[in-house]
Structure 1
Amino acid sequence: MSTTEDRNKAIVREAFDTLFNQRDYTAAERFWSPDYIQHSAHIAPGRDGLFNLVKSLPAELKHEWELIMAERDMVMVRGRFTGHGQPAPWIAVDFLRIEDGVLVEHWDVIEEEVSRGQSVSGLPMYGDTFPEEP
């Protein structure tokens, strides 16, 4: 039997795939509370603010996750957003609070991914390669 944390991680993985990759807004409604609280400085309030943002982005938008961690009702996702029409992918850490199997609150930290030439550390920000390398 899986733990609450395992269930919450699975919910977030499916929710993100449904909204950001499949762009299935009707199906995504079952994952996001109608009373969703948005703390992001980049997204308008509520579930509608999030859905409207995604609708405004190019169809090529994709989210991939690299790390998902959970403790009790909180889930953290470290991922990359590509295809959003900006010069560089976004590396994001999203924090979500889950209540009764539904996403009810969100915070994030977002930064543009840098190339090898821009990386002072000489290391990629996401995965094992830089965005310009295969």
Structure 2
Amino acid sequence: MTTNGGTLSMVTRVAAAVAGVAILAGCSSVSSASSADETAAGPTETAVAGTASSGGTSADRADSDVEAANKKTVLTLIEDVFPDPTSASAKTEADAVVAPDAVAHGTGLAAGPSGLLDQFAATHTRVANAQAVVKHEAADGDLVAVHWQVASDPNDERSGEAAVDLFRVTDGTIVERWSFSQPIPTGTPASGNTNTMFSDLYANAAEPGSVTEAQEESNRTFAVGAYNTLFRDQDVSVLDTSFDPNYLQHNSVAPNGTAALKGFFSGSATFPPQESSISLSDGDLVWTFSQSAGATASDPFLAADIFRVDDKLIREHWDVVPTS
């Protein structure tokens, strides 16, 4: 696995709703493995009453040592288990790291270590000679998120699948996880963008370790607020105050900048609102995981979005929107 550091975009999600279907229709419904499992799920920003500012965790978001250990647990698991998830060594490691009753959120996903192994094995079936290449990673409180490409040729960022996986880690053990993936579009991007779903293009991206825990939390609340203002409240004015007018958009549908989004949100059509339910921040990246506005804990998650925040502006955006 290489560590460094989606395509239906935000515009596509809006366009789908404008066409008369629910926002993010066509995305796979990332739901719980069972209704019983949901009772073990942690709090979310909007899905559980009274936790609007929690971002999906009650853990200490300022404990960088625990966050680093949690991130290492997840990255080591992917590195060691994904290459051959049917091997005895993969099973041994998964059993050691994933709780036997670990909740799994996602269409067709099963709980526990066997569910993770089955997910990885299914990915190998879909993508021949699959290799996992981690592009971005984050740890915040007890949450760890990984943005990665699965491809036969990791040097070709326009092949294979794009994925975001989210994990909850307690005392070194994965107790809950969510999974989002989509095929990577091939050919010339409709938007005219030459960047890929994974590129890092912002010239002033923060150096690793240079952003304080306090600034990370400030970035998280800022980006979540901007996301909810746009997608839940449908207040297009936030594009002028919280987004770089030329922000970098990593998909093959929407061009860079805010003009395209303004066009959709300023149109006459209406669409169902959605909002961030779980969020985390690491470095200058903020990750949001959205549900329909007012969702309950058992309702589907719709998409994973990543925003680069610098000087109180959103400068760059990636997303993964599962299709079904």
TM-score interval, smaller chain: 0.7 to 0.9
Matches within 5 A, 1:3-22: 3-22=65-84
For residues 35 and 120 of structure 1, the distance between their equivalents in structure 2, rounded to whole angstroms, comes to: 43
1:51 counterpart = 2:117? yes
Is the contact made by 1:114 and 1:125 (CA closer than 8 Å) also made in structure 2?
A: no
Is the contact made by 1:18 and 1:28 (CA closer than 8 Å) also made in structure 2?
A: no
Higher percent of residues as strand: 1
CA RMSD of aligned residues (A): 2.2
Q: Which residue of 2 aligns with 1:117?
A: 188
Shift of 1:117: 1.4
Is the contact made by 1:8 and 1:101 (CA closer than 8 Å) also made in structure 2?
A: yes
Query: Which letter does structure 1 place at the counterpart of 2:141?
Result: R
Q: 1:7 to 1:28 in 2, by over 3 A?
A: same
For residues 31 and 45 of structure 1, the distance between their equivalents in structure 2, rounded to whole angstroms, comes to: 13
Aligned to 2:82, what secondary structure does the other structure show?
Answer: helix
Q: Which residue of 2 aligns with 1:132?
A: none
For residues 39 and 127 of structure 1, the distance between their equivalents in structure 2, rounded to whole angstroms, comes to: 27
Is the contact made by 1:95 and 1:107 (CA closer than 8 Å) also made in structure 2?
A: yes
For residues 192 and 167 of structure 2, the distance between their equivalents in structure 1, rounded to whole angstroms, comes to: 30
Q: Which residue of 2 aligns with 1:131?
A: none
Alignment length, in residue pairs?
123
Shift of 1:63: 1.3
1:30 counterpart = 2:96? yes
What CA deviation, in whole Å up to 9, does each residue of 1:41-97 have, x standing for no partner?
A: 1423332222133345348232111111111100010111124xxxx5111111100
Normalised by the size of structure 2, how large is the TM-score? 0.35
Query: Which letter does structure 1 place at the counterpart of 2:197?
Result: M
Query: Which letter does structure 2 place at the counterpart of 1:126?
Result: F
Normalised by the size of structure 1, how large is the TM-score? 0.78
Q: Greater CA deviation, 5-14 or 16-25? A: 16-25
Shift of 1:116: 4.2
For residues 112 and 139 of structure 2, the distance between their equivalents in structure 1, rounded to whole angstroms, comes to: 22
Q: Kindly name which structure, 1 or 2, has the bigger radius of gyration based on alpha carbons.
A: 2
Is the contact made by 1:116 and 1:124 (CA closer than 8 Å) also made in structure 2?
A: no
Shift of 1:126: 1.8
Percent identity between the aligned chains? 25
Shift of 1:4: 0.7
Query: Which letter does structure 2 place at the counterpart of 1:25?
Result: K
Q: Which residue of 2 aligns with 1:89?
A: 160
Give structure 1 regions of 4+ aligned residues with deviation exceeding 6 angstroms. none
Q: Greater CA deviation, 41-50 or 9-18? A: 41-50
Matches within 5 A, 1:93-108: 93-108=164-179
